[in-house]
Amino acid sequence: MYKPCAKIDIKSGNSFSLVCSYTDESGALLPIDNTQIIAEIKDSGRTLIAAMVVNILDANSFELALPLGVILKPGQYYTDVRMVTGGTARNSDTMQLNVAEVVTNGTT
């Protein structure tokens, strides 16, 4: 079972993205050039749902977004961020995505 350090609540079918910065243990920003960034969304059974799309924003920040067409059904999902620089790999803490059913979906 995954042990998340943070929980994020979202609604099924809504757009979803995370803006992240790469920092060291003291909170100082680190450059992300020459860094491979990977994030996957998995369900509680550890089944891969989707690989997140990585958009570089600036020298220290990036955005993770669901791929177009991927809709998370209500339930719990998990992700973390893996960064590989010069052969050294580091993973962020695990985050839990709590996906709730929408009430208003815009159809009549």
Reported in sequence order, the residue ranges of 1-108 that DSSP labels E, i.e. its strands, are 6-11, 17-21, 35-43, 48-51, 53-56, 61-65, 75-79, 81-85, 88-91, 95-100
Q: Is the dihedral of CA 29, 33, 36, 39 positive or negative?
A: positive
Q: How far apart are CA 78 and CA 60, in angstroms?
A: 24
pLDDT tens-digit readout, 63-88: 999 999 999 999 999 999 999 999 99
Given this model, what pLDDT does residue 108 score? Answer: 57
Confidence bin at 107 (pLDDT 50/70/90): low
pLDDT band at 4 (very low <50, low <70, confident <90, very high): confident
Query: In this predicted model, what pLDDT tens digit does every residue of 25-36 receive, in sequence order?
Result: 898 998 999 999
Read off the pLDDT band of 89 (50, 70, 90).
very high
Specify burial of residue 81 (Cβ count, 10 A radius: 0-12, 13-18, 19+).
buried
- Mean pLDDT of the 41-57 span: 96
What's the rounded Cα separation, in Å, for the pair 50 and 10?
16
